[in-house]
Each structure stands twice: as C-alpha cells, then as structure tokens.
Amino acid sequence: MLLQTTTNTDFTARLSKAVAQHARDDSGPGTPQVAVRAERLGIDARVGDPRGRFHVASVGKLFTATIAMQLAERGDLDLDAPLTSLLPANELAGLFTVRGTDHAAAATTRQLLAHTSGVADYFEDRVTDGPRLNRLLVDEPDRTWTPGDLLAVTRERQHPVALPGVKFHYSDTGYVLLGRILEERTGTAFHDLLHERLFTPLGMDDTFLPYRSRAANDGDGPVDVDPGILPVRLGRTDIAGFRSLTIDWAGGGVASTPDDLLAFSEALHGGRLLSPASLEAMTTMQHRFRPGIHYGTGIMQLRFGEFSPFLRGYPRPVGHTGILATHVFHDPVHDAHLVVNFGATTAMRRSVLAIIAIERMLRAAA
C-alpha cells in the first residue's frame, strides 16, 4: 500500500521527473519501472507499472545465492566442499580442465557464488567456434535451453579462465552449476525451490521462472507458454516472447514485478530469510567487478564515489544488477529499497544515473 503523505507525494513527483530525464524509446517497458520504499522517511513511491512483470536478468542471482545460504545454515550444504562431492562427474567434466588437468576437485560452492571458480561464462565469454549464445538467443527464438545445454557450451566451446580460487571472473555457467547443486542437495527442481523457499512465503505471487513455472496469481495451467512479460530489448530486438529466454536459468531467468522484488529485498535485509551471520558473509565485498561495482557472495555493492569524485560519501547499496538495466538494491544508510527496470541492454548507463538521482533525493529527504 502506497503511503499517502506530503513527503511521499513530493518524492514521487520528483522521482517521476528524474526517471523521465533518463528514459528513451529503447526502454523495454516504455516508461521505466521504478519503486522506492524507505519507511523511516515516509517514502513508498512508484513510477511506471508496479505490477508489470519483467525479466529480472542477473538480479535473479540473489535468489540462487539466498537459497544456497539457507541450505548452508541448515547444514544441508557445505559451501567449501569440492564440487566433485556435490555433482555427477559427467556434469563437471571439462569445465575446470586447465592444460590437461581437471581441477574440479579444487572448486567449491563458495567460489561459484563469488565468481572465483575459474569456470568460463557461457553467455559473455568467447567461444572456440560457432556463434556466441547472445546471438543464438535471437537467431533461434523457439529453442528451449536446458541446464545441460548451457554447461555443454562451456565444456565444448570455451576454456577455463583460471584455476579455482585464483581470480574473479563473472560466470553465468557457475550459477547453472549452483542451480544443479541446489537440486541435488534437496531433490527438488530449481523452479520449485524458488517458489517453496522464496516466492510463496514472501507473497511474491507475480514471480515465476518462465517456461518452467507459473505465477501464483495465474493459477494452475501449462507452464510452456508465452510468459506475457513486458518488452525485453536485446539491442533493437524485443525478445520477451522468445522461448530462447530459457538461456537464463539459475543465473537470472526469473520474471517478477517491482512490488514483489521490494518484498524480497525487505525480507532479505530484514532478517526474514537469513541469519545475520549469513547476510554479513554475503555482503562482505571481496572483489571489484568493475569501477563502482564490487562483489561479495552472490551480491553486489555500488560505490558511487568510484563513478565520480562528486559522489563520494554517498551510501553503498547492496543488491544486484542485470544486463537488461534491471536493479534491486538496499541502501543501508536510509534503510531504503530500490527496484529499477529499464528493460534494455542499451539502457544500463541511464538506469544507473537514475539510481544516483534516487540516492540524491533520499539524501535530501533524510
């Protein structure tokens, strides 16, 4: 329920103006979707459709990481156990082989979460032959990708980037392995785990894994249908109705809404999903992804001062970003939760500028 206060009304008006300044025709949903909730400041503002379903891209890594940490808390998953004790040998074969030696026994779940396992990235990294997957996503729109298909790309057409534990290298392949580990440890399909552990308990009734599950608000029915999400622009192509969106799975294949993602962010940072120790472990930054973005264990941190010296002293929100200019972050200084969807690969810079504008507004409201 939106707070109807003078503070919130004024904030919403300024938010709408700020978002409009950074919107362009290439934004997937038309008007970008933005939601900001900071109860302590009396702010609960929306721009765009708060219940419009959109592809969250790598924001979904937060869900995978959270479930992994939950299993670790229960003693059902040892984050430091070798992957060879967690997955069948045929799934790991070739993924960690460097100069003829298989190093899968040195790779761990913790490394997968933090992108330090050395495994290549099926989506972004070069391939030894044939088209890259982001090309196949467009060229083969009716193709359904399985986790096994995705692992095969890395196994057959890519090489490891490093030995396990040596360097940070962002890897969607690593998150496919994480999804499979969660399935093996629980005996439950990954999409069912998402609903059982997160979506259903948190009332995220418009959130689902397209082509694999349905949103609770849609009731029973087939899952293998067009998910009916807002436009998803990969370059100039709207891929929202492409079955090939299954190319993303445990690394970020979920569709959700701003309101549902606010519910998740509040639960994660409010102690409803993880113990304080587990959340601290996730949010302890270990590596710099790129200037202004640091990475912990399945979670990012924005450091605005690295974008510009004029932004030094700004809060350091934690959450995750997706390639489609999708963002979910928690600003610990103002206890504010931010959800942003520009829905286009070309809109990343403008979506980050919108987040900076939001932080500036929160500082003014505090």
Distances, alpha carbon 115 to alpha carbons 61, 95, 119, in Å: 11, 14, 8
Beta strands in the chain (DSSP E): 33-38, 43-47, 54-55, 97-98, 101-102, 233-234, 237-238, 255-256, 287-290, 293-295, 300-302, 318-322, 326-331, 336-341
Residue type, 207: T
Dist CA 181 CA 191 (whole Å): 13
Cα 64 to the chain's mean position, in Å?
Answer: 9
Strand order in the sheet with 300-302: 43-47, 33-38, 336-341, 326-331, 318-322, 300-302, 293-295, 287-290
Residues that are catalytic: 58
Q: Which residue is associated with the tokens 């990235």?
A: 121
Measured CA to CA, the distance from residue 337 to residue 266 in angstroms comes to: 7
Return left, alpha or beta for 287; rule: phi > 0 is left, psi -120 to 50 is alpha, else beta.
Answer: beta
Three-state secondary structure of 309-339: HHHCCCCCCEEEEECCCEEEEEECCCCEEEE
Q: Is 97 helix (H, G, I), strand (E, B) or coil?
A: strand
